Amino acid sequence: MSDVHTDLAGRTIILGVTGSIAAFKAADIISRLTEAGAKVYPVMTDGACRFIQPLTLQTLSRQPVSSDLWGEGEGWQPGHIELADQADLLLVAPATAHCIAQFANGLAPDLLTSIHLATPAPVMIAPAMNGKMLAHAATQANIETLRQRGYHFIEPDSGMLACGYEGDGKLASVERIVETVIGFFQNQSS
């Protein structure tokens, strides 16, 4: 990586964290993105909050963690619209099969999916799930739908999965996720 302190200076990234065992890696992702100069707003699903405490992400990002569509701010503009408008990138890492399906089908039952529908920012997805779930025809069709819409994917790694199986579906390394985000913005500005 080049100068990690300025690569993402001035960039606002919404980090969507979904209910995967890999949610704990969001802490490291936030640390690295903020070290690179980004302002990171964590948005957690209910499932993600079962794997990692919001306070961890709030402390590392120095931003409030959003997780409740119905507990939004005090201003007149809904919080999810305000966040959606500020974003230079919506990064979802880890992204479960459920989240990918909701995105592909335009569903918005929670804060993250509502922000997804409201943001004009590019979307980058780092899947993390059981290999059989990843290989399922429905998941592959949802991924293809999103690719056709111009979404960017950070392919999962192969290895030992939390479920005890070995195969595809492991969240990409934090280093690769951060390098991909930095590369994305460098390509945009050239």
Give pLDDT tens digits for 100-114.
Answer: 999 999 999 999 999
User: 3-state class of 167 per DSSP?
Assistant: strand
Strand partners, 157: 170
Domain encompassing residue 108: 12-189
94 upstream amide cis, omega within 30 of 0: yes
Element (H, E) at 40: strand 39-44
- In terms of pTM, does the model score above 0.85? yes
In a domain, 126, yes or no: yes
Region 85-102 average pLDDT: 97
In a domain, 2, yes or no: no
pLDDT of residue 180: 98
In a domain, 183, yes or no: yes
In a domain, 5, yes or no: no
Per the structure, the count of domains in the chain is 1
8 within 8 A of 36, measured Cβ to Cβ: yes
Residue tagged active-site, from 133, 163, 167, 179: 163
Q: Is-catalytic flag, 163?
A: yes
Strand partners, 167: 159
Chain mean position to CA 186: 19
In a domain, 39, yes or no: yes
In a domain, 4, yes or no: no
In a domain, 1, yes or no: no
Give pLDDT tens digits for 122-141.
Answer: 999 999 999 899 999 999 99
User: What sign does the dihedral 169-172-174-180 (CA atoms) show?
Assistant: negative
Q: What is the CATH number of the domain that holds 19?
A: 3.40.50.1950
In a domain, 7, yes or no: no
Residues 67, 69: Cα–Cα separation, whole Å: 7
